Amino acid sequence: MLDTETKQDGKFHKRDKHEVWDDGSLIVKTEQVPWTEWALPGTRFKLLDYNRNISYVVFLLKIDADATPTIHKHIGAANAYILQGGFYYDKGGVREGDYFVEAGGVSHTPVTDEDGCLLLGFGNGAIAGFNEDGSVAGIIDVDWMIDAAKANNAFAHLENAVRS
């Protein structure tokens, strides 16, 4: 019983589905959220939380081992905890268990390790992707993430959450 239910205030609560509480809190059963294709080739994400006022997103990101390295710029900082695998840049690399800050304003081209990567990411602001000629290929912001998740039926856990 304890695996699927918890007792509080004399009432049992299910522990096997998403929850949105009236105080704004959330429980997201991440295994129940479908993966949605992200903007960079060979990547997919699960949106866990967001704040549109500051273009803030919390997400799981899975990167294939053969994902094409793509130059991008962080208009705000992106933080990540590496859950599996890793990737590297010209300055160094991160592996499972590392916490990583990609500073705001930085442009770089990550190369994924041969076992791919799974990370928990915290994005502040948008990410700009570039074409080979330096022109902007696209902008990934909180609205891009929300729209893509909705189009993939991967937003139900956030649908009733009170968020900015």
Establish how many alpha carbons lie within 13 A of residue 24's alpha carbon, considering only the half-sphere containing its beta carbon: 6
Q: Interacting stretch for Fe ion, rule CB under 5 A, among 23-31, 48-56, 95-103, 117-125?
A: 95-103
Q: Interacting stretch for Fe ion, rule CB under 5 A, among 19-27, 102-110, 117-125, 130-138?
A: 102-110
Closer CB to Fe ion, 74 or 157, in the complex: 74
Q: How far apart are CA 41 and CA 120, in angstroms?
A: 18
For the four alpha carbons of 150, 156, 160 and 162, in that order, the dihedral sign comes to: negative
Measured in Å, how far apart are the chain's first and last C-alpha atoms?
36
Establish how many alpha carbons lie within 13 A of residue 18's alpha carbon, considering only the half-sphere containing its beta carbon: 17
Q: How far is the CB of 73 from Fe ion (least distance, A)?
A: 8
Among positions 47, 102, 119, 141, the unique one binding Fe ion when judged by CB under 5 A? 102
Q: How far is the CB of 27 from Fe ion (least distance, A)?
A: 29
Closer CB to Fe ion, 45 or 155, in the complex: 45
User: For the chain, give me the number of helices (H) and strands (E)?
Assistant: 1, 15
Tell me if 117 contacts Fe ion by CB under 5 A.
no
Q: Interacting stretch for Fe ion, rule CB under 5 A, among 8-16, 24-32, 57-65, 96-104?
A: 96-104
Name the phi and psi angles at 66, rounded to 5: -100, 20
Q: How far is the CB of 8 from Fe ion (least distance, A)?
A: 41
Interacting residues toward Fe ion by CB under 5 A: 102
